[in-house]
Amino acid sequence: MTTLANGQAPEIEVGLTGGEARPRARAPFGRRLAPVRGNAAVGAYRLISVEDEGGPSPEPGQFYMLAAAERWGGGEGERPFLARAFSVCRTRGKGLDFLLEDIGPGTRRLATLAPGEDVWLVGPLGAGFRAPWVVDPSARRALLVGGGIGVAPLVIWSETLAASNVESRVLLGFRSASYSVAADLFADQAEIATDDGSTGRAGLVTELLATELDRTSDAVVYACGPPAMLEAVRRICAASAVAAELALEEAMACGFGACFGCVVRTRTGYRRICVDGPVMSADELDGSWLER
Amino acid sequence: MSDLRVELAGLELAHPVLNGSGTFDAIAALRTFGDELRDRFPFAAFVSKTITAEARGGNPPPRLWETPAGLINSIGLPNKGLDGFLEQDLPELASLPAPLIVSVAGFSLPQFQLLVSRVAERPEVAALELNVSCPNVESGCVMGSEPAETAAVMRAVRPLATKPLIVKLTPNATDVGAVAAAAEAEGADALSLINTLKAMAFDPAEGRPWLGAGHGGLSGPAVRAVALEQTYEVSSRVRVPVIGMGGIASGRDALDFIHAGARCVAVGTESFRDPAAASRVRDELRDLFAKREVRAIDDTPETASADLVK
């Protein structure tokens, strides 16, 4: 379990371009085989557990590239070909848990992994969340805002914050009750919104955030979810003068800065989400990052 | 122990496996993998991402599309420009444990001349690769698609550098062999191929081009057979050494390119799937050589037999 001793994450490195210090555990060079230990349903999602015997502990917010060792390719449309990127959801000893949703040929294959099979693993990659007091010295609390599959990195982050006795509150948004089962991955009771109102409040998680920020402004917001949700979080936080850390997602070919494919438009130009993120300060973005 | 050492246009290389330009950012990889990358550096020479005279942000996203056994990319040569490269990136790339080949692309002959003269004078640089897959803003023609245009680039830059000049050929040419012959006639020291094949993908939901720039280039195993044919064609037309690439993912793939006439090979898209893929290709190639009792790369044409390539 990663903790935040003395405000310092174990390995701090100056970010590639932003200049801000972000936790970044180094990955072993090359891909390695890791045995699958479990594959459990979490509502409509799957939680895949692999044993990463030789790998380092990831920092919350970092991600891995995953591919099945066998039968990777030859699925729908003769794919998948590339590995797929997943934020680490939580760690248990040398075990890494990844939350995924079957949305295409890559995730479809990974969703069928069984204990005894192996995955190819590269990681941990990218840079993770900064502690609240690093983001904003006056912050007292953490607000975790997750949407759908984007709740994954917030699970390990909430555990890390709890281990460091940081007060945090978890707000989650899902399509419907069958997806909201992922809220059970959090130790603390989360406040839930669903699109269809089948559980929790009917509406968007960003409405929960806006209500929360009406009451308090001494928090740092940590958010992961679909781009439109992250943009709403960015706007709400900017209006409330609350700092936010956004974990971004984009299709990646490599995950280690080689392909330049996963860029996001920032105030200082295109940045690679894999090496300059996936966690970025909301300040780095303006409203134009989603425009096509 | 088979000897994988090979000489490429005057560079003494420990083995024949390089990286394709733009498929491995050693600086970002050092941040990710640390010194283990230096200790286990997979490439016999490192080819930089293409630099241009002016800084470029690159193409608007989305930039990637997965295909059957391949990848379409539309990156748009993002780079810090000549000055930014020389000041910021070159010192770090020079610290790598392999000779440095700098890839440059001009959009005009004067730009190519500026790039070649300023890069070639740096002692950290072992050789230059000319990326001729860009359109010439004066003619509108992709320079590497026509023998005359490629010859004009070589004539413009050859007097400016004594270091080896490698021309990276585009497969999007009517007669790649003729382009190769023109480059050699004007003094190219080596040729590398293939660059990506022009390609396109459509957003299934919207019915419009998926990539932000409309079209891109296809790479990966999907292009390997095309790359082999072009490597064979070019190798039979020129005497200078050829660096073959296009979907190489194993030692056997690499050996195919050597049989097609390549002296060196490069790993590109496979490095996306496995950052250390080139090390594996090198080791598998060594094993294949050992099995056939090939002593050195130059022995290959005599000793390769049909059962090795089936």
For every one of its 292 residues, what pLDDT tens digit does chain A have, with 9 covering 90 and above?
455 644 443 343 433 334 458 999 999 999 999 999 999 999 999 999 999 998 999 999 999 999 999 999 988 888 999 999 999 999 999 999 999 999 999 999 999 999 999 999 999 999 999 999 999 999 989 999 999 999 999 999 999 999 999 999 999 999 999 999 999 999 989 999 999 999 999 999 999 999 999 998 899 999 999 999 999 999 999 999 999 999 999 999 999 999 999 999 999 999 999 999 999 999 999 988 988 7
Question: What is the residue type of A103?
Answer: I
Spatial contact of A91 and A97, defined as CB atoms under 8 Å apart: yes
Is B273 in contact with A79 (Cβ distance < 8 A)? Answer: no
Cα A100 to Cα A87: distance, rounded to the nearest angstrom:
10
Q: How far apart are the CA of B32 and the nearest CA of chain A, in angstroms? A: 6
Q: Between chains, do A250 and B61 touch, taking CB under 8 Å as contact?
A: yes
Rounded CA separation A245/A129 (Å) = 7
Name the token pair of A180: 């909201």
- Tell me which residue in B34, B67, B73 faces A261 most closely, judged by beta carbons: B73
Q: Is A233 on the interface with B (CB under 8 A)?
A: no
ipTM confidence score: 0.93
SS3 state at B265: strand
**Could you give the CA distance from residue A184 to residue A176 in angstroms, rounded to a whole number?**
14
Residue in A27, A77, A259 nearest the CB of B33: A27
Candidates A142, A131, A123; CA nearest to A10 is: A131
Side-chain-side CA neighbours of B287 within 13 Å: the count stands at 9
In angstroms, the CA A131 to CA A143 distance is 12
**What was the pLDDT predicted at A3?**
52
Write down the residue that tokens 């004009």 correspond to: B152
Cα nearest neighbour of A260 on chain B: B75
State phi, psi for B116 to the nearest 5 degrees: -65, -45
Question: What is the distance between the alpha carbons of residues B133 and B20, in angstroms, rounded to a whole number?
Answer: 14
| Alpha helices (H) in chain B, listed in sequence order | 26-33, 35-39, 81-84, 90-94, 109-120, 147-157, 176-185, 224-237, 251-259, 269-273, 277-292, 300-303, 306-309
- Both structure tokens of A160: 């890390």
* A285: contact with B, CB 8 A cutoff: no
**Contact between B24 and A77 using a beta-carbon 8 Å cutoff:** no
Chain centre distance of CA B242: 11
Q: Within chain B, which residues score under 50 in pLDDT?
A: 302-310
Which alpha helices (H) appear in chain A, and where do they start and end?
105-111, 132-135, 152-163, 177-180, 205-215, 227-240, 273-276
Round to whole Å and give the CA distance between A155 and A175.
19
Q: Answer yes or no: are the C-beta atoms of B9 and B189 closer than 8 Å.
A: yes
Best to test chain B binding among A14, A249, A259 (most B CBs inside 10 Å): A259
Q: Which residue type sits at A267? A: R
Contact between B257 and B192 (Cβ < 8 Å): no
**Do the chains contact at A29 and B28, CB–CB below 8 Å?**
no
Q: For B165-219, give the secondary structure using H, E and C.
A: EEEECCCCCCCHHHHHHHHHHCCCCEEEECCCEEECCECCCCCCECCCCCCEEEE
Per the CB < 8 Å rule, is A80 touching B75? no
Nearest to A146 by CA among A174, A179, A185, A175: A174
Residues of B in contact with A29 (CB under 8 A): 33, 36-37, 40, 275-276
Question: For residue A271, what are its two tokens?
Answer: 């940045």
Residue B134 bears catalytic tag: yes
Closest residue in A to B41 (Cα–Cα): A29
* Global pTM value: 0.94
Q: Does B68 touch chain A (CB under 8 A)?
A: yes
Q: Are strands A118-125 and A63-68 parallel, antiparallel or unpaired?
A: antiparallel
DSSP letter for each residue of A24-61? -PPPPSS-EEEEEEEEEEETTEEEEEEE-TTPPPPPTT
Distance CA B277, CA B286 (A): 14
Which of A251, A256, A265 is closest, CB to CB, to B32? A256
DSSP-derived letter for residue B221 is G
Among A65, A248, A256, most B C-beta atoms within 10 A, so best to mutate, is A256
Residue B67 to residue A29, Cβ atoms within 8 A = no
Q: Which residues of A touch B37 (CB under 8 A)?
A: 29
Which has the closest alpha carbon to A109: A142, A148, A83, A145?
Answer: A83
Contact state of A29 with B275 under an 8 Å Cβ cutoff: yes
Is the Cβ of B73 closer than 8 Å to some Cβ of chain A? yes
| Burial environment of residue B159 by CB neighbours within 10 A (0 to 12, 13 to 18, 19 or more) | exposed
